[in-house]
A = this chain, B = another copy of it.
Amino acid sequence: MELKNPLYKNIGIHVITALFTVEKGTTKVLLVRRTNDPFKGMWALPSGAMYNNELIKDGALRELKEKTGIELDDLTPFRTFDALDRSPLYRMIGVGYIGIIDSQTVEILKTTNKTSNADWFTLDNIPKLAYDHNEILNYAIEKLKERIITTDILKSFFPNGFTLPELQTVYESILNIKIDRRNFRKKMLNVIVDTKKEVNYVGKKKAKLYKFDKKKKDISIF
C-alpha cells in the first residue's frame, strides 16, 4: 500500500542501544566508531535503522550484534527521541534501549563493515558522539539508575547469580553512592533467593551465591 499524503512518507526508525557494564567499581558504556557518513569517524552508541518487518526491540538486538558482535536476548526500551533535525538526511524517530552485561563475559568485535572500533568508555570520559547520542546516553544513564532500583534488570549482568558483596559493588558504582552493608542485605533479601551455592568473589572467605527471585520483577530498593 502506498500512502497518498507525502506528509506521511519518509519516516524511519532508529534503534539505539546504551549497553552498560561495571568493571572494578566503574560504570562503562559501549561505543562504536563510525566509518560512514553522516558523522563519519565519530563515536556513537551502537545503532541503526529498524527494518519494516521486525519488532523495534529485535532491530535493536540485531543492530547491537551487527555493530559489536554482542548477542543478547533482551533489552529494555526507555525513551523515544523525535526532534525534527536529529538525523540530518531523513526524518528518523529514535527509540532508545538500555542493557547491562558483564563485559568480561563477551568478546566485542573491534571492526565491522560499518565501524572501525568499539570500546567500553567510562561515563566521565564520553567523547562528542554522532547524532543526538550524547543526549540519549544521558537519559539512558538516568533510566539505568531508576531501573536497577525498581526492576530486576541486573539479572542480565549476573546470568550465573551473584554474591551480595559483588551485587552491592554494582549498585554503588551505578548509583554513585555508598550503602551500608547490613541495610543493603536486608533490603535485597526481599527480592533475591539463595542458590545454596558458595563461591569466592574477592576475599578468602566463601560467599553465598544468590539470584533474583523470578516472582519479584518489580522491586523497590531505596
Q: Which residues of A contact B (CB under 8 A)?
A: 1, 3, 5-13, 49-57, 77, 80, 82-84, 89-91, 93, 95
Tell me, in angstroms, the Cα distance from A28 to B54 when the chains sit together: 35
| A61 to B: closest C-beta gap in Å | 13
- A–B pairs, 25, beta carbons within 8 Å: A1-B89, A3-B12, A3-B49, A5-B49, A7-B52, A7-B53, A8-B49, A8-B50, A8-B51, A8-B52, A11-B11, A11-B12, A11-B13, A11-B52, A13-B93, A52-B91, A53-B84, A53-B91, A55-B83, A55-B84, A56-B80, A57-B82, A77-B80, A80-B80, A80-B95
Contact of A56 among B8, B10, B54, B93 (CB under 8 A): B93
Cβ of A13: which chain B residues have Cβ within 8 Å of it?
11, 93
C-alpha gap A97/B77 in the complex (Å): 16
Q: Shortest CB–CB separation between residue A163 and chain B, in angstroms?
A: 32
Oligomeric state, in number of copies? 2
| Contact (A8, B12) CB under 8 Å given A77-B80, A82-B56, A95-B80 | yes
In the docked arrangement, what's the CA distance between A52 and B56, Å? Answer: 19
- Residue in contact with A1 in the complex, picked from B52, B55, B82, B90, CB distance below 8 Å: B90
Residues of chain B within 8 A (CB-CB) of A89 are: 1
Residue in B closest to A93 when the chains form the complex, CB atoms: B13
